[in-house]
Amino acid sequence: MNNDNIQLMQGNRACAEAALAAGMRFFAGYPITPSSEIADFLSSALPAVGGNFIQMEDEIASMGAIIGASLTGIKTMTATSGPGFTLMQELIGFAALCEIPCVIVNVQRGGPSTGLPTSPAQADVMQCKWGSHGDYPMVVLSPSSVRETFDLTIHAFNIAEELRTPVILLSDEIVGHLYERIRIPDISNLSLIDRKRPTKPPPGRYEIYHTSEPDGIPCIPDIGTGFHCHITGLIHGKDGFPTRDPDKVRDLLKRLHGKIDSRKRRICLMEKREMEDARIVLCSFGATARSCFQVVREGRLEGLKIGGINLKTLWPFPDFVFQELPKSVETVVVCEMNQGQVAGLVRQATGNRLKVVGINKCSGTIITPGEIRSAIDRPI
C-alpha cells in the first residue's frame, strides 16, 4: 500500500506538522514575523489532538511555560525570531543546565535589533551557541527546504528527548515562508524517541541526575509522579540540590558537554554532493545551501571540479567533516547571510591546511547562484 501523502506546504507549516507528528502537545509562543504561521496553525491543531496552545505575554514567559510543561513529561515547543530569541536566552540556559527537553524554533530575520522583520538573514548561528551566559552545549539544526524542515523537526524532538536537552531548529525567513511540494512520510513509520523516566519511586532517596557514565544522560522523573524531585538553576549535585563542591561542579559541567560531544557524529547531519575529486567545496546551510547546490550542479556540467556540503547540524559544529575532506580539496567557500560566522568555524576546523573563503551578504536578500559563481570565477 502506498501511504505517500504529497502536499504543497509552507516551511513553517511543515515544522508545525512535524512537531505534532513527533508527539509535541504543548506550545507557548508570542507572535513575531516570520515565525507566526507556526503559532497560528498550532492554536487550532493542538486542542484538536488534546494538546494545549497558549499565547504568553512575551518570549521569556513562553520559554518558561514550555519548560514547566516539559517537566511534567510532555513534549513542548516554542517558535520565534531574532528579538524574541534574544529574550529566550535566559531560560534556554536554565533548560540546558537542568536538562529539560524542549524545542525552540528560530525563523531568522535580519538584525540586529528589530532589524528587517520580513527579510532573511542567517546571523544567529553564534547566538544559538553562546546566547545565554556560562558554558553550555547546544544542539542546533538548520533546514534548507520544506521537507528538511519536517525531517529536522522530528530529529530535534528525538535529540531533545534522548539527550534531555533543549534543541534549536534554526530556520530562516526564506525556508520558513517557502512553499514546496513535499512527500509527508507515513507518520506511523516515523521512529520517535521518548525520554527515559523511572516509573516508581524506589525506597530511599532517588538521585535524579545520577548517570553511570561520565557522559551519560540522567533518568529524571516527571514531576507529579511521587518522586519529590528538586529542579534548580543553581549548579547541583546528582541529588538535584545546590552544591559548590568543586568536584561536583566540574563533574556536572563536564557531563553536560560530554553528553553532546560524545554523540557528535550521530547528531551531525549533512548532505554532501559531488565531493569525490572536488577542488572547490561550497559549504552552506539553510536557504543559501540551495544556491550552492545549484552552482555545483551547473559547474559540474561545465566540467568544474566542484562539490558542496549542506550542514544540517550547526552545533555541535561538525568540525570532523572539514578534517576528513578528500585530498583533492584546495578551497572551501562558505556562503552565508552574515559576516562570516560559520566561515570562522570552518577555518578553526581546517587549521592552515586549506584556503577558506567566505561569501557573505548582509543585505536582507539571499545569496544567488550567480553571485556565488562570479565570486568563485574570480581568482581566489
Shortest spacing between CB 72 and another protein, in angstroms: 5
CA distances from 93 to 14, 185, 201, 207, 278 (A): 27, 33, 28, 22, 40
Selected binder of another protein within 9, 15, 32, 91 (CB under 8 A): 91
Footprint on residues 10-29 left by another protein (CB under 8 A): 25-26, 28
Is residue 79 close enough to count as binding another protein by CB under 8 A? no
Is residue 243 close enough to count as binding another protein by CB under 8 A? no
Question: How many Cα atoms occupy the beta-carbon half-sphere of 302 within 13 Å?
Answer: 11
Site string for another protein, 190-229 (x = CB under 8 A): ---------------------------------xxxxxxx
Phi, psi of 295 (to 5 degrees): -65, -40
Shortest spacing between CB 268 and another protein, in angstroms: 30
Question: How many Cα atoms occupy the beta-carbon half-sphere of 184 within 13 Å?
Answer: 19
Selected binder of another protein within 58, 194, 261, 277 (CB under 8 A): 58
Question: How many Cα atoms occupy the beta-carbon half-sphere of 172 within 13 Å?
Answer: 28
User: Closer to another protein at the Cβ: 232 or 348?
Assistant: 232
Shortest spacing between CB 226 and another protein, in angstroms: 4
Q: Which residues contact 189 (CB under 8 A, 6 or more apart)?
A: 3
Report DSSP letters for 119-187, one per residue.
S---TTHHHHHHSSSS----EEE--SSHHHHHHHHHHHHHHHHHHT-EEEEEEEHHHHH-EEEEEE--G
Selected binder of another protein within 19, 32, 67, 366 (CB under 8 A): 67
Selected binder of another protein within 14, 24, 39, 53 (CB under 8 A): 53
User: Closer to another protein at the Cβ: 56 or 362?
Assistant: 56
CA–CA gap between residue 310 and residue 307 (Å, rounded):
10
Shortest spacing between CB 93 and another protein, in angstroms: 8
Using DSSP's 3-state secondary structure scheme, residue 282 falls into strand
Segment lying near another protein (by CB under 8 A), choices 64-72, 119-127, 309-317, 345-353:
64-72
Give the binding site for another protein (CB under 8 A): 25-26, 28, 43, 47, 50, 52-54, 56-58, 60-72, 74, 76, 90-91, 94, 223-234, 241-242
